[in-house]
Amino acid sequence: MTFEDDIKKLHEMLQGACLVEFSTIPAYLTGWWSIKDRRSTAAKLLRELVTVEMRHLSIAANVLIATGGEPDIHAVAALDYPRSFVAPGPLTIHLLPFGKPFLNMGMTIESPGDATPCVPKEDAEVMLAQSPEYDPQPPTLITFGAKETIGEFYRSLMKHLDACVAQYGENKVFPKGGRVERQYAYFGQDRITVQSRDEADALMQDIIWEGEGDGGGILDSNRDLSHFFTFHELSVGRFYKPDDKPCQPTGDTFPVPEGDGVVDTLPDPKVAAYAKYPAAVKAAGEFTDLYGQMITDLDAGFKGNPDLVDRAVGRMRQLLARADAVLDCELTDRQKYAAPTFELPAKK
């Protein structure tokens, strides 16, 4: 293969990483926002997961920029839910309210592969009925045991990156010192710019550890609980202690929202499903308008204007109020409530 072929493959894999990392954000937001008590432990844990997923997206985008590519966030955001991936995967991401299917999906997404025994055998498959009025597809099956986890996908990506540097040299793979001026530099106090293979590998290794844990344990490299085991905490209502074994938390218990504590929203909603409900159409449209502005800022931010990423994050915080307006809309004929669809506004 030529340099052009190898670098194209690298950029495709990194764009795929942006796709997967971005796709978790609306999914985790949907679960979080469906919890009525936003001060609850469950809501706080999900809010923290969303923040870390934004960091992961920024890292994937920065590595793509550093190697001469350009992230296309608009293309990523334009895809409908549910979203299915061949690599990593096979994996499907849905928009679901908080509950057992949502938590099982979260553990599927963040799975380290060998820890799926945390999930009871009877819960290993969950059917999600679709509405034939706006989605003629048959019911979707959530299953465990993906052939390639997200961690394995990143390891393959890192292996290809390392091979490119070994064959073509670091200066060619990371042109102009990684084009740092085009990257989003800080996430909180954490500098995430990339100028070399070692920096790229270290940050992508962080993504693996933060998702699935460090070397089969429950913690990441910073001694924080990994995402997989955070979802397991939420599924059993008990905290892990640092020295606990996988699937065996021994910490304090906490209440897990259920029943009237959760807004029972339509899975994988589309605005078309709200046609009989003008209030839901209006609320969903107002959410979509602000979401579209957020995506525009995020896309431009990762295409050379990194200050706009902060503006996009600010818009994400503003989305909560508009999401609540959607969640207030009852779809009486379905015995469900509306939820943000995360569709992009139509081009004018």
For the chain, give me the number of helices (H) and strands (E)? Answer: 10, 8
pLDDT at residue 126, rounded to an integer: 58
Nearest to 239 by CA among 218, 259, 216, 213: 218
Q: Helix, strand or coil for residue 251? A: coil
Nearest to 109 by CA among 234, 47, 20, 240: 20
Nearest to 267 by CA among 94, 109, 121, 138: 94
pLDDT at residue 305, rounded to an integer: 94
CA angle 299, 184, 112 (to 5 degrees): 85
pLDDT tens, position by position, for the chain (348 residues)?
899 999 999 999 999 999 999 999 999 999 999 999 999 999 999 999 999 999 999 999 999 999 999 999 999 999 999 888 887 878 889 999 999 889 988 988 888 876 456 766 555 555 555 555 555 555 555 555 557 889 999 999 999 999 999 999 999 999 998 999 999 999 988 899 999 999 999 999 999 999 887 767 888 877 889 999 999 999 999 999 999 988 899 999 999 999 999 999 999 999 999 999 999 999 999 999 999 999 999 999 999 999 999 999 999 989 999 999 999 999 998 889 999 999 999 876
CA angle 12, 112, 124 (to 5 degrees): 105
Nearest to 82 by CA among 118, 43, 33, 30: 30
pLDDT at residue 118, rounded to an integer: 77
Strands (E) located in the chain: 83-85, 91-93, 126-128, 140-142, 186-187, 190-191, 330-331, 336-337
Q: Provide the residue type at 200 as one letter.
A: A
Helix (H) or strand (E) holding 308: helix 307-327
pLDDT at residue 290, rounded to an integer: 97
CA angle 76, 309, 155 (to 5 degrees): 55
CATH of 3-249, one of 1.20.1260.10, 1.20.59.10, 3.40.190.10, 3.40.50.920: 1.20.1260.10
Nearest to 154 by CA among 104, 109, 206: 206
Cα 332 to the center of its chain, rounded Å: 30
Nearest to 88 by CA among 160, 159, 15, 151: 151
Q: Helix, strand or coil for residue 213? A: coil
- Give the pair of three-digit tokens for residue 322: 């508009």
pLDDT at residue 117, rounded to an integer: 61
CA–CA distance from 38 to each of 222, 260, 304, 319, 324 (Å)?
A: 26, 14, 35, 14, 11
